[in-house]
Every structure is written in structure tokens, then in C-alpha cells.
Amino acid sequence: MREITYLEAVREAMSQEMRINEDVFIMGEDIGVYGGAFGVTRGMIEEFGPERVRITPISEAAIAGASVGAAMTGMRPIMELQFSDFITIAMDQLVNQAAKNRYMFGGKGKVPMVVRTPSGSGTGAAAQHTQSLEAWVAHVPGLKVVQPSTAYDAKGLLKAAMDDDNPVVFYEHKLLYKASGEVPEEQYSIPLGVADVKREGTDVTIVATAIMVHKALEAAAELEKEGISVEVIDPRTLVPLDTETIIKSVKKTGKCIVVHEAVKFGGFGGEIASIIAESEAFDYLDAPIRRLGALWIPMPYHPEMEKAAIPQVPDIIQAVKDTVAFR
Amino acid sequence: MREITYLEAVREAMSQEMRINEDVFIMGEDIGVYGGAFGVTRGMIEEFGPERVRITPISEAAIAGASVGAAMTGMRPIMELQFSDFITIAMDQLVNQAAKNRYMFGGKGKVPMVVRTPSGSGTGAAAQHTQSLEAWVAHVPGLKVVQPSTAYDAKGLLKAAMDDDNPVVFYEHKLLYKASGEVPEEQYSIPLGVADVKREGTDVTIVATAIMVHKALEAAAELEKEGISVEVIDPRTLVPLDTETIIKSVKKTGKCIVVHEAVKFGGFGGEIASIIAESEAFDYLDAPIRRLGALWIPMPYHPEMEKAAIPQVPDIIQAVKDTVAFR
Amino acid sequence: MTVAWKLPEMVTEEKLIELYHQMWVIRFFDEKVDEFFAKGMIHGTTHLCVGQEATAAGVGALLTKEDKITGTHRGHGQCIAKGAEASRMMAELFGRATGYCKGKGGSMHIADLETGNLGANGIVGGGIPIAVGAALTSKMKNLGYVTVSYFGDGASNEGSFHEAVNMASIWNLPVIFFCENNQYGMSGPVKEMVNIENIADRAVGYGIPGVVVDGNNIFDVMLATEEAVNRAKRGEGPTLIEAKTYRYKGHSKSDGKKYRTREEEMDWRKNRDCIQFLEKALIEKGLITVEKARELEADAKKVIEDAVEFALNSPHPSMDTLEEDVYA
Amino acid sequence: MTVAWKLPEMVTEEKLIELYHQMWVIRFFDEKVDEFFAKGMIHGTTHLCVGQEATAAGVGALLTKEDKITGTHRGHGQCIAKGAEASRMMAELFGRATGYCKGKGGSMHIADLETGNLGANGIVGGGIPIAVGAALTSKMKNLGYVTVSYFGDGASNEGSFHEAVNMASIWNLPVIFFCENNQYGMSGPVKEMVNIENIADRAVGYGIPGVVVDGNNIFDVMLATEEAVNRAKRGEGPTLIEAKTYRYKGHSKSDGKKYRTREEEMDWRKNRDCIQFLEKALIEKGLITVEKARELEADAKKVIEDAVEFALNSPHPSMDTLEEDVYA
Ligand SMILES: Cc1ncc(C[n+]2csc(CCOP(=O)(O)OP(=O)(O)O)c2C)c(N)n1
Ligand SMILES: Cc1ncc(C[n+]2csc(CCOP(=O)(O)OP(=O)(O)O)c2C)c(N)n1
Ligand SMILES: [Mg+2]
Ligand SMILES: [Mg+2]
């Protein structure tokens, strides 16, 4: 199969959908000839024109709010939030409006919109441009939350997100944009709420999200050499969360490590770990569930510090070894 | 000792501090003759005048941002955010500015500000006025987060928050405003980061926050009749979190329940439960740690539904019984 | 107050009499709510528009069912004027299954998508960008409808107002930003919360027309709205209308109204009441008699009594529905 | 461009020559950064103000050390003009321990509280409310300083701008909202992102003066700033100044500049360059000779070379400091 990048997969998912569905359009800052801050929409304004690839003022609250209003009245907007850190400005529209509308109105109306937004560190962009704040939105009933880790998943999950009749926050990891993989040319959909076992194993389960999936896989490859068999699960969507697949794996391995790039304290890892520990997997647990996440600091600019702020492959390897060695 | 309400305790803490510290002032919507949406600041403008009890336009981003700027330049602002749900509008200033300033600047400057804000349901104010979003801010390095459950704690913790040189988000629970308790007349400070054992017990630990502390205590009283001894721990501050006290208790009881009013999924309870399970208390755990929190719904208006959306005393009792009966 | 006695094309004299009736319906609705609230029969919170009926009625008169509105927390009048039934609104306030939100939303969230009401809003300024989105749909799909976004004087200080109006302006969207300036944002006097004479002056910053009208004069409201609707439908973009009005009641429950004088309130109540104004105009013009006016008033009262009866006789929602309606 | 040759009281002819030198320092600083960035020696991202030097220098000339600024992502010039040392700035960009942020902040977060620089900002519009707060301190403590908030044309569409300016206006705060309108917000042409001729026109919505100046004419910038500073210090409140200017470079790294024409860029570079403009004025006035101009230019270059040397010779921060500085 042909290989394309994660970035191209995202673009292709949008473009293919826009070709067949007039209601889908995209709006955001600099998504026209500039192609968006990361080039995701490059070429789209040329194909779809400025009405459907709509450059906005620097007004995140209005972009989100206009998406809500457009979605409520029959369009299916995709909004590109230039950096996921700027969700701080769009938060009211996403949380108090998009997420709650339908319920508050007693089940009337729907808000089919996708918020596409790049997150994560590794670019040297410092504290205001590198956050992983998915835990916030994953705590809000009414929203769905997607975090693809591969080009294949990105395309299929974005299709599902665009098809969904609810507001979906779709996190793209900046460092994954250039990662390539096999991606079918035709449209396909990966249902929201279905985790993917990225690698099967028997000794330890690692639940990892976004870029940490790749680090976990690297760690697993290393650990295999030492005879430790690691299963790597990528939830792919935090809301809905495929707890079944995760719990099943932990019941099998009896050991679990949760890894995300977001700050560990208060991060979504706590939810995953707690769900496992609350489940029937509790009885199978041979060691505490360890969580790996970023340190309790804003993201530093210095490249070495930036790396040290978040879990790296050796940290994962160490955590697995500690867990395996437990008791 | 004299009894005053939680609301009066908050007001007294502010007023006493404002009498001795010229740098402290309060700003927010309707905090003047109106006394604030819940009457917390009633009488303060009369005592301190409109310069120091500063009525703002309905501009949450600017209120927060002006607080940041004032704090950076030598004042010690208290901002009253009329409902904690509106933090959605102030989020950028709190998270991307107040919390990160000092670190981004390499340890220069400080942002001594307090965000006082009422949270919680039970007032019939529906989905946009009843949230408990403390998990968001507790995930942000640079912020501190306080959730007092009693009048005594409210006064002492607010004093500590006002004395702190960092941005502190101080959650007041609406339904606790009228709760009274013994409160010393003089100023006193309760250090941030010290949990309080609200009731000692030996069979199960309940870690509960804000209004859930009271429900947990009620449940404990009930359970005592059935011979179950419950220890109730109120962390009082989520950041910093007194993990030591919590872990010590769970090591003693071997069983733990975490209760908060916030939506269970993605809530701060996951952090507490995970920290316990990651700690040396793991070996002492005789049953899975159960978390109780709100359902995965926006808060409904209907009074019965509103009650059913969050944990109530019988839910806590049931959870304790299930936990005690485990295996 | 003077009566121009010029009516928009869309508004016949008959329709005007209906509007008079509607204003009474709105007033009685909110007075009833006030009463039940005081009695503890309605819970939560509520914001009454008593005294402001001419803005909602005047705007509503110019809108068709296809047109949309986004409302405010003080939205009962806006809903009724857009075609909502008082009975289902009242049922909502009583938290009944027959309410517009099946008891899940309450006063601040009444929505009626079928009549183009995209929802009241508990967030000050929250509906303004949403209206821009609704207008965007109209433009992109060529649907020809306009969207009116109601908001208060206080809301005009929210960033959402600024961002939304600018966006609508550069995209020439068919939307009307309708500011109900009732002199106060909760307790904040507009005179102290902005440093300008008129909220409408803000239009300058967006390159759109800004119009000030007497919000208690329904003719003024209608004529300004008509012009804005026509402008929007011609594809010329948004208009900012500011209607000066006054709320008779407190901001919401338990408001001592210390931030204003009793004299000021009485002046508006006695000398500038919007219903009295229209009534006088109708009678002077010979469209109705005093008796007819009383009849219409009585009928409106009856509408609300029926609404109350409907509400009180409606079932509470089943607790089984608690976790429904989160996702589509 | 015409030279008024009127100088603010605070600015002597000597100072003007210093400003000319400073503008070169700013330009060389950013050109050096551009170079190192292209070579991969500086990482992260950076936003250069090449072409816009007169705004920072012109504003900075009117400020004392006690006065404060809040800057933008395009803030190197703003920092230098407020008194920051190029060496410690360069060190910051190289992530060194001697940098203004000890390597933790980088280009977008340079702050120097000692010289009144409350920090550049990576959030568009993020510094505007902060400036209001700093101005509030000045007023409440009677400190007499003014605060300047720099922001871009693009930033003027953020809600934070609106909320902050309104607040400053009603409280009569000593703050200057200084808009560097360089025609684009990233790729968004200001002409398409607002529907008005001048960002300064927005002042009408807040009841404060709005002034448009030629941002490449340092005299204009200084005179407008002087008036605004005086107004602020007299307690008369904020001013909105819009300086029309242009950035020669792309928005940040890897910008194909497809959103504008090469001709437009060349026109600004050739015919409206702010340094050339001042140079010509100084020479015409006989304050410096051409040779002196070259000398000053060369000296500025040297300042930057020294800064680079300082930076490159500076140690990296110890990894032990990683978790420091979160809390005071
Ligand atoms: C974002 C936000 N801030 C504050 C509030 C609390 N609040 C509700 S209504 C109101 C006053 C609104 O004033 P205005 O916009 O003039 O409308 P009015 O109530 O006068 O109709 C306030 C402060 C809110 N609901 N939302
Ligand atoms: C809130 C926010 N939105 C978007 C961005 C991304 N961004 C950085 S600079 C910029 C353009 C800013 O334009 P303007 O205010 O005119 O300043 P200029 O870059 O032209 O100096 C954008 C969109 C950001 N940093 N913050
Ligand atoms: Mg008002
Ligand atoms: Mg610009």
C-alpha cells in the first residue's frame, strides 16, 4: 500500500470528505495560501476556494462559537485551532456551548463539529505552545476526544469525527505530522471508542497515547531483546474510551503502565489507571499501575530540558523493568 | 468559640487582610453594593471604598489578566469570578500567563493573586452554572488549588492563599456558604498542602472534597451504627496535594473511596486514586479503590435530576459497604 | 416618546394589535414566574424582562420562522416573540417533561429549534458568536434567513462580542446584533461600565452601521430592525442596534436593587412603559378601544393562566431520561 | 514620508542619534537571529521585527525605567528599546543560563522586570490585559508610571483586546495601547481581517483617543507616544495608537510569504525603510555625517557580534534547574 504522512492523511481525510459533502468546510487562522501553521491545509484553498477554506481573524472564541452556530444550523464545520494551547480562549464555546447545548435543550439539535488542533512538545516553542491539555476536554460530558498516533488512524478517525453528530476535539501531534505509514487511498472510518492493540505481548501492558505510542513501541522492541514481552495499547479516543480492550489486556498481563506526554499530575492517565484498578482487573494486578507523564513544570524552551520534561524511551523501559521486578 | 458561616469566614479573611495590607484588593463583577452574586463581599465596598473593592465590567479575561498584571507589579489582587464555570473565559490568563510567567521568565517575578470562585451544583442553575472544574486547574503547573469544606478551613486557607506568592484558585462551594462552624476571630493561616482528617476510622478511608466531605461524614455516622469505622480525609488543597496523609490512612485501613462532586470521568479523583495505587499503600489495598463523582452528563435543571447527577449519602454508604464486603 | 406611526412593510395594523397582545403575554409570563419564584414553586434562577417587552416583540415582528435568534439569560420575551408557546416554556420552568427542554434546561436554556430559536444562554455574550455561525450557514447554503443575536449592555464588554461582530462584518453575514441596553448589567450601571454614550457607537470599530433606538417604542424598534433585516438580506452584512430600555424587576432572585434609585425605576414604570405606550398609540389611532385593550390584556392573562395549568398538570420527567440526550 | 523635525521634550538630539544606533542594533539582532535560525543553531521559533524598528525605538524613547511594557511574540525590538541587553537576549535564544530566562523561555518570553519589561508573550493579545493590571498598580499605588502594551493588527481581533481597553478606559488607567500594524497577522491581511480603515478607529468604542501614525517615521511615533504618555500621567486615561508599518521577513520560520507580493515588500524596503528615513533626516539636519552613520551602523553590528559571542560562550543551564522556578 502507498505510504503517506500523518499530515497528508489528515488533509486527505478532509479533502475527500469535502468533495462529497457540501456541508463540510474548514475555518481557522492562516489555513489559506499559508496552509496553516503546520501546512496541514496546504493546497486546500486552491481546490475548495475561500468560502469553504475560510481564513478567520485571530479570534479563537468566535471561531469556536461560529462553528457551534454553523453546526447547529446544518453545516459540519471543521475548525483548525492553530495550537491546542489556544483552547484556553475557545473554552467557553466548546465547554459551555458545544458540549452542553443538546442536553440543556432536552435532546434537541446537534453540534456536528470537529476541532482539529496540534498539540505536544518537541518543537522548542516553549510553555505556551507545547501543552497537552486533552485531560480538560476529556472531562467534559458532551465532547468526544480523539488522539491518533499513526497516519492510518488519523485518516480513519478523522473520517469518523467528521461523520459524528457531536463536537469532537481531534488532537494532532506536531511531531507525528511527518511520520508516514500505509494509508488506503479510499475513505474509511475507524469507529470512535475502539482502542488498537499496536503490539501484542504477555508480560506488561502499556497504555500509551499519541506520540507515546511510538515511544512505547520502541521500548517494547528493546525489552523484547531482554525477554520481556510488552503489549502496547493505543486507546485512540479518550472519549469514548475503550475500557474493555484495556482491561482485557491487563487481566492477561497483570501489569500495566500508562504513558502520556501531558503533565502526569491530574492527567488523563489517572483516569485510565483508576478505571483499570476499579475493574475486575484489580484481582489480576501483580504490581502497582505506574503512570508516566510530564514533570510538574511549564514546558521549558531549552531543547535538552524540553526532552527531559516528558517521558522518553529509557523512562518507559525503566518503568517496565521496575514493574516486572515488582516484589 | 463563636460560630460564623463559611461565607462570613471568607469575607472576614479578606477584610482582615485588607485592613493590614494595603496591597490586597478585590475585583470582580457586582462585588460592590450588590455584594457579589452570593453576597460574599457584602459590606466591603462600604468599608474599603470602590478603589479597593473594584466593580468590573463583565469581562472575565480582562479581570484575570488585570489581576496578573497587578500581581506582577506589586499588588496582591483577589479576583472574584462570579461562577466558576466562567473560568472558561479567564482560562488563557490563568493558565498561559499567571501559571507560567515565572517559569518562562527563568524564575523572575511572581504572581500573587487569588481567584475566588463559587462552584458546585444544588442551586437549580443548570449546566452552565453548576460545574466543578477544579481538575482543569489542578493539572496546571504553576497554579495552586484550594477547596475548603468548612468555615474554619475557608478562613485559614484563604489567609494562606492571600499570603502565597503564587496564583491560587480558591473554590468556594455554593451550598456551603451558609454552613456555620467555629471560627477564631483573629487571623490564622492553614498551610496549603496539609490535608485534614475530618474523622478518624479504621475500616475504610474516604477521601472527599468540598461538599462531599460533609456527605462522607454523614455516611460515616450512619455506617458507624452498622459497625463500620470510616476515616474521612479532606485534602483541602489539590495543589499541593498532601499525599502523605492520604497514603498513611489507606495503609491503615486497606480500603479507600474517593468522592467528589465533579464529573467522575477525568476528574481529580483519578489522580488521588492513582497516587494511592502507585504508592507503598498498594500492598495494603484489600479492595479496589472506588471513585464516586458526577454522572457523564451536563448538570440538569430538574431538582431531582440534579441531585441524582452527583453522589449522595446513600451512594457513599453503598460504596463503603461494597468495598468492605469485597471478596 | 413620540409615535412615528410608520409601520414596517411586514407589519400590518392587525399584526400590531397582536404585538400589543404579545407584549402583555410576555409581561404576564414573567410576572407569573416572579410570583411562583417568590413562593418557592419554581427553583433555580430566573431573569425577568418585565418592562422590556417592546424589544423582543418589535424584533420578533420582523422575523419569519426561518429566521433565527440566539437569546440571553433574560430571554423569555425573546422566546415568545420568536414563536415559542408560553405553556411549554412555563412547563420548562417547572421542570416538566413537556417543557421545551424536558426539564433539563430551565429558564436560561429555552430553545426551540423549530421556530428558529437557537437557545437562550446562561453565559453572558455566549450566544453572539453562535449567531454568527448560524448566519454563516445562511450565507453558505444560500438560505436567505437572518439571525438576530440578542445581548445586553453588560455583554457588550465580553470579548466574545468583539470577536463575533468583527467576524460577521468582514464576512458580510446576515446577522443583527441587537443590544438590549437596560442600563445595568446585573448591578453594573452601563454608564460606569463603558466610557461611551451608546453601545451602538462600537459599530464604528467594525465598519458596520450602529443604530440607537428607544427600546420602549416598538415602532422605533421595528423600523430599525426592518432596515437591518433588509440590509442583511441584501447581502450587505450586519447591523448593530442598541435599544435603550429598562428592567423593572431586579436582576434575578434576591436583588435589593441598591445600585439604582426607586425614582429612576418609577420614572420608567410610569412615564415610559412600553405597553402603555403602544396601547395609547393604538387607541389614539382608533385601532382599538380602551375596552378592547382591556379585553386583550385579559386574554393575555388567560394565556398565561392556561400555561400555568398546562405546566402544573404536566408530568415530571422520568428519571430514566437522566443520562439521555448527551450525545446525538 | 515627511520629517516634522519636532522632537518630544524628553528626546534630545543626542538621544535621537542613540535611537538611530538602537534601530540598527535591533535590525542586526533580528538579522542575526534569522541567520542562526536558518543554520539550525537557534531552535524553536522566532518572529522578527526587521523593518519595524521605529515603533519600538520611538516608544521606548519616551519611557523611563519605571515605566512598563508588555510585549508581543515579535518582541525583540520592544525589549531592546526598553533597555534589555542584546547579549542576554541572544543568550536566551541560544538557550543559555545567562539568558534573560535562563534558557527556559526563548524568543517569545523574554522579560526583564528590572527594566520594566513585563514580558513578551506567545499568546496573541495575551499581554494587553496584563498591561491594564500593571497600570492599575501604578494608579492604586500612585507610582506615576505608564504602561505600554504592544500588540499587532491581528491581535486587535482578540476578545482580550476589547475587554482590556474598555476596562482601562472606564478606570482611566495610565496605559497606552500601541498597535504595530504591520499589515498582516501571520498570513491574514489586515484589510481582510477588519472592515475598517484604521485599527485606531476602534478607540471610538471605548471613548479614548485613537491616533494613527506612520510607524516608519520615528518622529511621528515619538510625538504620538509623548502625547499619550502625558495624557496618561495627567490621569486622563489610555490612548490607542496605531502605527502603520511592515515586517520585511516572513511571519516566522518557513513562511513562503505567498499572501503578499514581492512588489509590496520591495516598496516598503526601498521607499519606506525606517532606518534609512531617520538616517536621511539626521544627515539633512546636519546631526551626523554619512561617515558617522556608517560608524554607528558598524558599531551596532559589533554590539550584536559581541552579543553572539557572549551567548555562544555562555554555559547551558544545569539540568538540575529543570524543576526550579515554577513557584515563588
Ligand atoms: C460570562 C458570564 N459572566 C457573568 C455572568 C453572570 N451574569 C449573568 S447576567 C449578568 C448581567 C448581564 O448584563 P447584561 O448583558 O446587560 O444583560 P441584562 O441582565 O441586563 O439583561 C451577569 C453578570 C454570566 N452569566 N456569564
Ligand atoms: C491566541 C493566539 N492565537 C494565534 C496565535 C498564532 N499566532 C502567532 S503570531 C500570529 C499573528 C499575529 O498577528 P499580529 O497581531 O498582527 O502580530 P504580528 O505577528 O504581525 O506582529 C498568530 C496567528 C497565537 N500565538 N496566539
Ligand atoms: Mg443590561
Ligand atoms: Mg501584524
The one-letter code for the residue type at A206 is I
Residue C233 grid cell: 438580506
- The percentage of residues in chain C with a pLDDT greater than 90, rounded to a whole number, is 98
Sheet containing C239-244, strands listed edge to edge, beginning at the edge strand earlier in sequence: C68-70, C147-152, C175-181, C239-244, C210-214
Residue keyed to cell 497528508: A8
- Tell me whether residue B102 is exposed, middle or buried, using C-beta atoms within 10 angstroms of its C-beta: 0 to 12, 13 to 18, 19 or more: buried
Nearest to B127 by CA among B298, B307, B267, B293: B298
Residue keyed to cell 522579560: D111
Is C185 touching ligand 1 by the criterion CB < 6 Å? yes
Task: State mean pLDDT over C192-210.
Answer: 98
- Concatenating the DSSP letter of every residue in C16-41 gives HHHHHHHHHHHHHHHHHHHHHHHTTS
Q: What is the pLDDT of residues C88-142, one digit of tens each?
A: 999 999 999 999 999 999 999 999 999 999 999 999 999 999 999 999 999 999 9
Measured from the Cβ of residue B221, the count of other Cβ atoms closer than 10 Å reads 12
Residue keyed to cell 405553556: C87
- Give the Cα separation of D320 and D284 in Å (integer): 56
Residue A111 contacts B where some CB pair is shorter than 8 Å: no
| CB-nearest partner of B95 from A88, A92, A271 | A88
- Give the Cα separation of D311 and D301 in Å (integer): 15
The one-letter code for the residue type at D114 is E
Largest CA distance in chain C: 56
- Give the Cα separation of A179 and A172 in Å (integer): 12
Helices (H), chain A: 6-20, 44-52, 60-72, 87-91, 101-104, 134-137, 151-163, 211-225, 243-253, 269-278, 303-309, 313-324
DSSP H or E stretch at residue C150: strand C147-152
Active site annotation includes A260: no
Contact B220, B232 (CB under 8 A): yes
Residue D123 contacts C where some CB pair is shorter than 8 Å: no
DSSP H or E stretch at residue C152: strand C147-152
- Chain D contact set for B25 (CB, 8 A): 140
| CB-nearest partner of B73 from D102, D137, D324 | D137
pLDDT at A50 over 60: yes
Q: What is the pLDDT of residues A145-187, one digit of tens each?
A: 999 999 999 999 999 999 999 999 999 999 999 999 999 999 9
Is C215 touching ligand 1 by the criterion CB < 6 Å? no
CB pairs below 8 Å between C and D: how many?
A: 72
Residue spans of the domains in chain C: they are 35-314
pLDDT at C180 over 80: yes
Is C184 touching ligand 1 by the criterion CB < 6 Å? yes
Residue A239 contacts C where some CB pair is shorter than 8 Å: no
Q: How many residues does chain D have?
A: 328
What is residue B40's DSSP assignment?
A: T
State whether C160 and D157 contact (CB < 8 Å): no
Class of the CATH domain delimited by D35-314: alpha beta
| CB-nearest partner of B297 from C45, C193, C326 | C326
The one-letter code for the residue type at D200 is A
Nearest CA to ligand 2 atom 21: D152
What is residue C98's DSSP assignment?
A: T
Sheet containing B144-146, strands listed edge to edge, beginning at the edge strand earlier in sequence: B53-55, B24-28, B76-80, B114-119, B168-173, B144-146, B237-239
Nearest CA to ligand 1 atom 10: C186
Secondary structure class of D127 (helix, strand, coil): helix
Secondary structure class of D149 (helix, strand, coil): strand
Residue spans of the domains in chain B: they are 3-182, 196-324
Residues in a beta bridge with B55: B28
pLDDT at D199: 98
Residue B214 grid cell: 460533609
Q: Which residues contact B7 (CB under 8 A, 6 or more apart)?
A: B38, B39, B40, B177, B178
- The percentage of residues in chain C with a pLDDT greater than 70, rounded to a whole number, is 99
Residue keyed to cell 484575570: B64
Residue B165 contacts D where some CB pair is shorter than 8 Å: yes
Write b or e for each residue in C1-11: b if 16 or more Cβ atoms lie within 10 A of its Cβ, otherwise e: eebeeebbeeb
Chain centroid to CA A298: how far? Answer: 20
| Shortest CA gap A71–chain C (Å) | 8
Q: Does domain A3-182 have CATH number 3.40.50.970?
A: yes
Bridge-based pairing of strands A237-239 and A144-146 is: antiparallel
Residue ranges around ligand 2 (CB below 6 Å): A 29, 58, 60, 82, 86, 89; D 47, 72-74, 122-124, 151-155, 180, 182, 184-186, 251
Contact D221, D243 (CB under 8 A): yes
* Sign of the four-CA dihedral C37, C42, C43, C48: negative
Q: What is the pLDDT of residues C313-326, one digit of tens each?
A: 999 999 999 999 99
Q: How confident is the model at residue A327 (pLDDT cuts 50, 70, 90)?
A: confident
Residue D58 contacts A where some CB pair is shorter than 8 Å: no
Ligand 2 atom nearest residue A128's Cα? 25
pLDDT at C207 over 90: yes
Domain B196-324 carries which CATH code?
3.40.50.920
Secondary structure class of C168 (helix, strand, coil): helix
Nearest to A75 by CA among A103, A28, A112: A112
State whether C140 and A97 contact (CB < 8 Å): no
Measured from the Cβ of residue B179, the count of other Cβ atoms closer than 10 Å reads 17
Nearest to A162 by CA among A67, A246, A83: A67
Helices (H), B164-231: 211-225
Secondary structure class of D49 (helix, strand, coil): coil
For chain D, which residues score pLDDT lower than 50?
none
Residue numbers of D between 160 and 219 with CB closer than 8 Å to C: 160-163, 166, 169-170, 192-196, 201-202, 204-208
Nearest to A117 by CA among A144, A89, A151, A78: A78
* Number of continuous H segments (helices) and E segments (strands) in chain C: 11, 7
Q: What is the mean pLDDT of chain C?
A: 97
Q: How far is CA C307 from CA C93, C120, D200, in A?
A: 11, 20, 52
Q: Which residues contact D75 (CB under 8 A, 6 or more apart)?
A: D47, D49, D107, D108, D110, D120, D121, D150
Nearest to C268 by CA among C250, C246, C251: C246
Task: State mean pLDDT over C13-40.
Answer: 97
Q: The complex's ipTM?
A: 0.98
- Give the Cα separation of B211 and B148 in Å (integer): 9
Secondary structure class of B58 (helix, strand, coil): coil
Bridge-based pairing of strands D239-244 and D175-181 is: parallel
Residue B69 contacts D where some CB pair is shorter than 8 Å: yes
- Concatenating the DSSP letter of every residue in D178-224 gives EEEE-SEETTEEHHHH-SSS-GGGGGGGGTS-EEEEETT-HHHHHHH
- Residue C228 CA neighbour count, 13 Å, CB half: 32
Contact D17, D289 (CB under 8 A): no
- Residue B25 CA neighbour count, 13 Å, CB half: 28
State whether D166 and C157 contact (CB < 8 Å): yes
For chain B, which residues score pLDDT lower than 50?
none
